[in-house]
Copies of this chain bind each other. A is one copy, B any other.
Amino acid sequence: MVVVMSPDATDEDVARVVEKVEGVGGEAFVSKGLERTIIGLVGDIDSFHHLNLRTLRGVADVHRISDPYKLVSRQHRPDRSTVWIGEPGRQVPIGPETLTFIAGPCAVESAQQTLEAAQMARSAGAAILRGGAFKPRTSPYAFQGLGVKGLEILADVRVATGLPIVTEVVDARDVPVVAEYADMLQIGTRNMANFGLLQAAGESGKPVLLKRGMTATIEEWLMAAEYIAQRGNLDVVLCERGIRTFEPATRNTLDISAVPVVQAASHLPVIVDPSHAAGRRDLVLPLSRAAIAVGADGVIVDVHPQPEVALCDGPQALEGADLRELAQAVRRLPALVGKEPALAPVV
Top-6 shortest CB links A-B: A215-B215, A31-B40, A293-B293, A29-B31, A171-B196, A290-B294
Tier of interface size on chain A: 35 or more
* A183 vs chain B, min Cβ distance (A): 23
Which stretch in A117-125, A154-162, A203-211, A257-265 binds the other chain? A257-265
Contact of A293 among B215, B218, B245, B292 (CB under 8 A): B292
Q: Verify B52–A249 contact, CB threshold 8 A.
A: no
Which stretch in A80-88, A92-100, A306-314 binds the other chain? A306-314
A273 at the interface (CB under 8 A from B): no
A→B interface (CB under 8 Å): 2, 4, 7, 27, 29-36, 38, 40-43, 46, 49-50, 52, 54-56, 61, 63, 65-66, 68, 75, 136-142, 170-173, 190-191, 193-196, 213-215, 217-220, 223, 226-227, 230, 243-250, 253-261, 264, 277-278, 282-283, 286-287, 289-295, 307-311, 314-315, 329, 332-333, 336-337
Q: Verify B287–A223 contact, CB threshold 8 A.
A: no
Q: Verify B65–A249 contact, CB threshold 8 A.
A: no
Task: Find chain B residues with CB under 8 A from A278 CB.
Answer: 257
Contact of A260 among B27, B54, B283 (CB under 8 A): B283
Task: Find chain B residues with CB under 8 A from A283 CB.
Answer: 257, 260-261
Give the nearest-CB partner of A246 in chain B: B244
Q: Verify B246–A314 contact, CB threshold 8 A.
A: no
Q: Verify A138–B46 contact, CB threshold 8 A.
A: no
* A318 vs chain B, min Cβ distance (A): 12
A218 to B290, CA, bound (A): 19
Give the nearest-CB partner of A214 in chain B: B215
* A217 vs chain B, min Cβ distance (A): 6
**Can you pick out 30 interface pairs between chain A and chain B where the beta carbons lie within 8 Å of each other?**
A2-B38, A2-B63, A31-B40, A33-B41, A33-B65, A35-B66, A40-B40, A55-B314, A61-B65, A63-B63, A137-B195, A138-B193, A140-B223, A140-B226, A171-B196, A190-B193, A218-B247, A249-B257, A250-B261, A253-B255, A254-B255, A254-B256, A256-B256, A257-B287, A260-B283, A261-B283, A289-B295, A290-B294, A293-B293, A332-B336
